[in-house]
Amino acid sequence: GILGIYGMIVAVIINGSMASGVGGVGKYPSGAGYIHFGAGLAAGLSSLAAGLAIGIVGDTSVRAYGKQEKIFVAMVLMLIFAEALGLYGLIIALLMNGTAGTAM
């Protein structure tokens, strides 16, 4: 779902910030490459953790909802907070990408 879109957003933004030099020789410093790599890892691993949390919470909540219907609002809230983990990773990746332009 939306967690995969977060990764694609980061990839497109990082790709747009890479500068190609004259004649195919790049002017892309290694520091910026490492920052972009870290930004991709931040987005990817946070989305992985969010997906794992959504799976565990979703499974447990559906089983609990089958026994008691009052749990629905709490179930939705827990799923929203689990989804927020991926959003935090996207924000960190965007902040890291912003600092990659100053890397030497």
Alpha helices in 1-104 (DSSP H): 2-17, 30-67, 72-99
Distance CA 38, CA 67 (A): 43
pLDDT in tens, 32-82: 889 999 999 999 999 999 999 999 999 999 999 999 989 999 999 999 999
Residue 91 pLDDT > 60? yes
Mean pLDDT of all residues in 3-25: 80
Distance CA 44, CA 4 (A): 9
Question: Given this model, what pLDDT does residue 5 score?
Answer: 94
Distance CA 50, CA 39 (A): 16
Mean of pLDDT over the chain: 89
Q: Say if residue 14 is exposed, middle or buried (CB neighbours under 10 Å; 0-12, 13-18, 19+).
A: buried
Find where tokens 């959003």 sit: 87
Confidence band (pLDDT; 50, 70, 90) for 28?
confident
The better pLDDT of the pair 30, 21 is held by 30
Confidence band (pLDDT; 50, 70, 90) for 102?
confident
The pair of three-digit structure tokens given for residue 22, joined into one six-digit string: 């004259």
Question: Given this model, what pLDDT does residue 25 score?
Answer: 63
The pair of three-digit structure tokens given for residue 15, joined into one six-digit string: 């790709």
pTM across the whole model: 0.83
